[in-house]
Amino acid sequence: MTRTTKLLTPLAVLTALAVPAFAQDAAIDVNGDGMYSFPELQAVMPEMTEEDFTTLDVSGDGMLDTDEITAATEAGLLPE
């Protein structure tokens, strides 16, 4: 392993771990837990219904996690 590789590997790992933390919009994720709740989304999207939220909440845990947020954003259902 070269010296450059030894230096860049930890940086790559830290960068990969940091990406999910920045994926959410702070204007929506007001408590900073990295997930969107129905009240958080409805505050910025008053047209959001519980039925809409349930459809986006694929895991059924009552929160939208990073994967669910990404999928909904890519589908144009949540703001960028």
Q: What is the pLDDT along the chain (80 residues), one digit of tens a residue?
A: 565 444 444 544 433 333 343 357 888 999 999 999 999 999 999 999 999 999 999 999 999 999 999 999 999 999 87
pLDDT of residue 1: 57
Neighbours of 17 (CB within 10 A): 9
The predicted structure's pLDDT at residue 6 = 47
pLDDT at residue 69, rounded to an integer: 94
Tell me, what's the pLDDT at 53?
A: 96
- For residue 64, the surrounding DSSP H or E stretch is strand 63-64
Nearest-angstrom CA–CA distance, 7 and 24: 29
Q: Is the pTM of this model over 0.85?
A: no
